[in-house]
């Protein structure tokens, strides 16, 4: 018996006719309507007629886009595809956001009807648009759809890559995973026979659908949870989920999912030999499918009616249903459904002792199975080619980005070199002077305290003369490193000349600046200089001034005077 996972149609209303109503006004009215609004189909048809009369390609494309949205919103995927395909050649005339929506709805319709080859052929365009847009919601939908396509084709590693990307985008937005993505992850694990994780994601998806107020996805998820319990032969629980699913789908007018829910409920009732109830739900499913023609789904349901007739001993009715199911499968061009129907007929004729027909359909079954394998291989090959081309495009874009980045980085490096002291890695005097003036003006305007420090390595000439200029250079580097590691990112420290180091402390009182400099002085004094040269000792003298002066020159002169005092008092000290 065929039970199906979920992978509304209403009649369009006639709106009031406005004599000689301009197309611009019609379009404005149509754009203001929701895709589910029954008036939209009539307005879109009228716009299409006007566009064809006026030979207005853009208006025709927009009319077909609106009409396709209408059919898609009512789950009439076959009509949606027909409409979208007829306007495809002029789709490029639409605005970028309309083009993206147009292609996504078309691809979703292909997926819903099991037209995986058609979807595969458009997957590279879909992914390219997703990567070009700045709309993460759109890319999340695309990645989820392509992940689901790869699940159906059994390419699980690539499916997981698409899902991972979708999850990454959601996390970047600090949002909860949407219900449709959680549902897709549930199907991924179901296809991998991981029931525990499958149920986990289905249940999470259902809970997420509640605040999203999405009754349609609620129904879809409840249906799939029902299938999960059916597989465990827990039919009582499965039936309960199917009934809940049907309630949700009825409330949102989703006849498409209702066909599956009724069919699945009928299958479980058939398993429990409740034949009358099973028949009732199968016919209920046929009633829903009549509202949105799908020969593939009608084939599924009639195949189950054939099995029901066979189980109740009505061989003639069983034969009729199974052959009707086969004809519908042929009309649908659904390779998987056709394979199922050939197998059903082979088993049916074998059970009735008609070995000639049993052999006939058995051969057709295996031929169709082989064709399906070849078709799947072709689809996989196309997907791999698309993946290769997209990766090539991504690499070309990355090369272009890196070239621009290299140029930008080179400019930054040149700027950095022009501002940096070559020996110590500290800022140089030119950069310090420019920052000092800017900080002075800023802090003066805001009336905030800041300090400047001027430091000098004690007896530096003696170090050079005693241990060599190379040793002196190493001392400068180490002292500079201690300063850089001891200060905040907002502080500015520079080599002012020779063995002098200068620093700016924004938003810092004189008391706090003294504390910072005292810690630095202690670190320099306590550094293991003997590892560099035996008998080497290094200390530093520091002078600090607060911004109580009328210019940067007088402020720096004050710090220099404090440094001079530190030297006179015996060096290795901080004076403020």
Residues involved in catalysis: 499
Please, what's the b/e burial string for 46-69 (b: 16 or more CB within 10 A of its CB; e: otherwise)?
bbbebbeeeebeebbbbbbbbbbb
Instruction: Round to whole Å and give the CA distance between 565 and 559.
Output: 10
Please tell me the distance from the alpha carbon of residue 67 to that of residue 70, in angstroms, as a whole number. 5
Question: What pairing do the DSSP bridges indicate for beta strands 574-575 and 500-505?
Answer: unpaired
Taking the C-alpha atoms of residue 409 and residue 417, their distance in angstroms, rounded to an integer, is 12
Contact assessment for residue 254 and residue 288, using Cβ atoms and an 8 Å cutoff: no
Question: Which backbone phi and psi does 12 adopt, to 5 degrees?
Answer: -65, 140
Could you give the count of Cα atoms lying within 13 Å of 73 in the half-sphere of its Cβ?
19
Helix-helix angle 116-132:355-419, to 10 degrees: 10
CA distance 204 to 182: 7
Cβ atoms of residues 426 and 493 within 8 Å? yes
CA dihedral 477, 480, 486, 491 (to 10 degrees): -150
Alpha-carbon distance of 23 to 202, in angstroms, equals: 46
With H, G, I as helix, E, B as strand and everything else as coil, classify residue 246: helix
- Spatial contact of 218 and 248, defined as CB atoms under 8 Å apart: yes
Smallest CA-to-CA distance from 51 within 32, 67, 35, 39 is with: 67
Cα–Cα distance measured from residue 296 to residue 168, given in angstroms and rounded to the nearest whole number: 36
Yes or no: say if 266 and 288 are a contact pair by the CB < 8 Å rule: no
| Dihedral pair phi/psi, residue 427, rounded to 5° | -65, 155
List of residues 6+ apart from 559 with CB closer than 8 A: 452, 453, 454, 502, 543, 544, 545
| Residue 120 tokens, joined | 């595969």
* Separation of alpha carbons 188 and 181, rounded Å: 10
**Residue 384: which residues within 8 A CB-CB, separation 6 or more?**
none
Evaluate whether 232 touches 225 at the Cβ level (below 8 Å): no
């Amino acid at each position: 018996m065929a039970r199906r996972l979920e992978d509304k149609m209403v009649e369009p209303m006639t709106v009031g006719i406005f004599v000689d109503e301009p197309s611009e006004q019609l379009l404005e009215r149509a754009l203001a309507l929701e895709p589910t609004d029954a008036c939209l189909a009539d307005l879109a048809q009228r716009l299409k007629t006007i566009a064809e009369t006026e030979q207005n390609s853009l208006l025709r494309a927009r009319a077909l886009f609106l009409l396709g949205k209408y059919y898609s919103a009512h789950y009439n995927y076959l009509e949606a595809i027909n409409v979208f395909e007829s306007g495809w050649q002029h789709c490029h005339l639409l605005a970028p956001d309309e083009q993206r929506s147009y292609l996504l709805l078309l691809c979703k319709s292909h997926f819903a009807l099991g037209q995986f080859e058609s979807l595969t052929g458009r997957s590279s365009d879909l992914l390219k648009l997703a990567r070009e847009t700045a709309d993460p919601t759109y890319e999340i939908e695309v990645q989820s759809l392509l992940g689901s396509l790869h699940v159906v084709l059994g390419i699980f590693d690539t499916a997981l890559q698409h899902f991972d990307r979708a999850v990454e985008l959601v996390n970047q937005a600090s949002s909860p995973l949407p219900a449709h993505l959680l549902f897709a992850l549930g199907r991924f694990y179901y296809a991998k026979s991981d029931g525990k994780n499958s149920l986990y994601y289905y249940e999470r998806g259902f809970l997420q659908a509640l605040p999203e107020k999405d009754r349609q996805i609620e129904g879809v998820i409840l249906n799939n949870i029902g299938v999960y319990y059916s597989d465990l032969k827990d039919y009582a629980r499965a039936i309960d989920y199917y009934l809940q699913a049907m309630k949700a789908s009825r409330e949102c007018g989703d006849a498409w999912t209702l066909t599956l829910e009724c069919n699945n409920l009928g299958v479980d009732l058939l398993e429990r030999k409740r034949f009358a109830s099973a028949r009732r739900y199968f016919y209920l499913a046929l009633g829903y499918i009549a509202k949105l023609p799908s020969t593939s789904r009608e084939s599924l349901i009639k195949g189950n009616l054939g099995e029901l007739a066979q189980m109740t001993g009505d061989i003639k009715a069983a034969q009729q249903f199974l052959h009707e199911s086969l004809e519908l499968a042929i009309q649908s061009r659904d390779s998987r459904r056709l394979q199922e129907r050939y197998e059903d007929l082979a088993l049916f004729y074998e059970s009735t002792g008609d070995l000639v027909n049993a052999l006939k359909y058995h051969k057709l079954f295996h031929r169709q199975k082989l064709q399906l394998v070849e078709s799947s291989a072709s689809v996989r090959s196309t997907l791999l080619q698309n993946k290769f081309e997209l990766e090539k495009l991504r690499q070309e874009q990355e090369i272009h980005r890196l070239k621009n980045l290299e140029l930008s980085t080179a400019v930054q490096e040149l700027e950095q070199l022009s501002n940096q002291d070559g020996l110590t890695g500290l800022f140089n005097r030119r950069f310090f002077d420019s920052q000092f003036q800017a900080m002075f003006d800023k802090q003066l305007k805001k009336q905030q305290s800041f300090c400047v420090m001027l430091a000098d390595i004690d007896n530096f000439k003696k170090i050079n003369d005693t241990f060599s200029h190379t040793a002196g250079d190493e001392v400068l580097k180490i002292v500079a490193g201690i300063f850089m590691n001891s200060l905040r990112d907002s502080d500015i420290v520079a080599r002012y000349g020779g063995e002098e180091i200068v620093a700016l402390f924004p938003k810092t009182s004189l008391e706090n600046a003294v504390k910072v400099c005292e810690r630095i002085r202690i670190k320099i004094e306590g550094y293991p200089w003997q590892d560099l040269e035996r008998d080497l000792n290094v200390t530093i003298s520091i002078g600090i001034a607060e911004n109580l002066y009328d210019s940067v020159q007088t402020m720096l002169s004050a710090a220099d005077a404090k440094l001079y005092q530190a030297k006179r008092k015996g060096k290795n000290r901080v004076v403020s």
